[in-house]
Amino acid sequence: MNVRFGTIAIDPAAGPQTATLVVGQPIICPEAYVCSGFSGVGSIQIDSAPATLNLSMEGSLATLSDGAGHTLTFDPAFNDGTDIKSLYSVGGVGGVTMAIGGSITFTGNEVAGVYNTTNAGGSGYIVNVNY
């Protein structure tokens, strides 16, 4: 799953601001920032027979790092903007693909760089699927 926010140029004078990715929309960029480049939601594939599923995310914050000790926090969300999908119905054999978007809140004091996570060291979230 790759969630991409593209390039975000922050304005320190603007204070805390949030950039958000939602399925079917371009990045929702704070008015005081400039967002450019490729952005897009990620996805996960859940394979199953026809069933009703309860989906939830645990520890739903992921730490993004620039590799030099600077971090950002990514708050993932399912395609409807929530961390819980109760009674989600899978209609056919083969499963379902769930889109994952989310948001990053900036303080305005971040150091420029490329921030990402490989989920090494347990920094991230778990998607639970209950049949």
Strand ranges, E, within 10-125? 17-21, 34-36, 42-46, 51-58, 62-65, 71-78, 84-90, 96-106
In the block, residue with structure tokens 């989906």? 55
Q: How many domains does the chain have?
A: 1
Report yes or no on 113 lying in a domain: no
Which tokens sit at 104?
């990053």
Report yes or no on 89 lying in a domain: yes
- Between 11 and 121, the more confident residue is 11
**pTM score:** 0.78
Is it the case that residue 119 has pLDDT exceeding 60?
no
Is it the case that residue 7 has pLDDT exceeding 90?
yes
> Is residue 86 very low, low, confident or very high in pLDDT (cuts 50, 70, 90)?
low
CA distances from 39 to 78, 112, 118, 127 (A): 16, 18, 18, 22
* Beta strands 17-21 and 71-78, pairing class: unpaired
Report yes or no on 80 lying in a domain: yes
CB 19 within 8 A of CB 30: yes
Phi, psi of 58 (to 5 degrees): -105, 145
26-30, 32-36, 82-86, 104-108 — which is least confidently predicted? Answer: 82-86
Is it the case that residue 88 has pLDDT exceeding 70?
no
Report yes or no on 114 lying in a domain: no
32's enclosing H/E stretch is: none
How far is Cα 103 from Cα 16, in angstroms, rounded to an integer? Answer: 13
Report yes or no on 48 lying in a domain: yes
Report yes or no on 15 lying in a domain: yes
CB-count burial class (<10 Å; 0-12, 13-18, 19+) for 102: buried
Domain of 19, in residue numbers = 7-108+122-130
Report yes or no on 117 lying in a domain: no
CB 64 within 8 A of CB 74: yes
pLDDT in tens, 27-75: 999 999 999 998 888 888 777 766 777 777 766 678 888 999 999 988 8
Instruction: Tell me what percent of the residues of the chain surpass a pLDDT of 90.
Output: 32
